[in-house]
């Protein structure tokens, strides 16, 4: 879910909002996706090896991801409202 949010944001007008934003298909976008996958896959691999206490670590990481996603919705809506392209950001906010 978080990786698809990164891709959707890189396709939206948010990709043109600043000098350090990632456009679709650039190395920066792929680096962000790789970073997210590494931060999720390493604890998942530890959990899958049978270390049951890692379920708490996975719960914390998933909670942080959900908190980031919930926080991004009002920010994206505000950026769209002030930028004049709110309808173009509906895909990012709904994802």
Question: By C-alpha distance, which of 24, 13, 5, 21 is closest to 85?
Answer: 13
Q: Please name the residue that has the structure tokens 């390493």.
A: 42
Amino acid 95: pLDDT: 67
Query: Residues with Cβ < 8 Å from 22, sequence gap 6 or more?
Result: 6, 10, 15, 28, 29, 32
Query: Residues with Cβ < 8 Å from 2, sequence gap 6 or more?
Result: 36, 40, 65, 68, 69
Tens of pLDDT, residues 27-58:
989 999 999 899 889 988 998 998 888 889 88
Rounded CA gap, 43 and 41, in Å? 6
Please indicate, yes or no, whether the overall pTM of this predicted structure exceeds 0.75: no
Tens of pLDDT, residues 53-73:
888 988 998 899 889 888 888
């Amino acid at each position: 879910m978080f990786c698809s949010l990164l891709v959707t944001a890189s396709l939206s007008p948010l990709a043109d909002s600043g000098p350090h934003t990632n456009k679709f298909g650039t190395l920066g976008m792929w680096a962000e996706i790789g970073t997210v996958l590494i931060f999720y896959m390493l604890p998942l691999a530890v959990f899958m090896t049978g270390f049951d206490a890692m379920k708490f670590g996975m719960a914390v990481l998933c909670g942080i991801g959900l908190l980031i996603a919930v926080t991004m919705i009002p920010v994206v809506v505000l950026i769209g409202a002030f930028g004049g392209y709110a309808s173009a950001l509906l895909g990012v906010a709904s994802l």
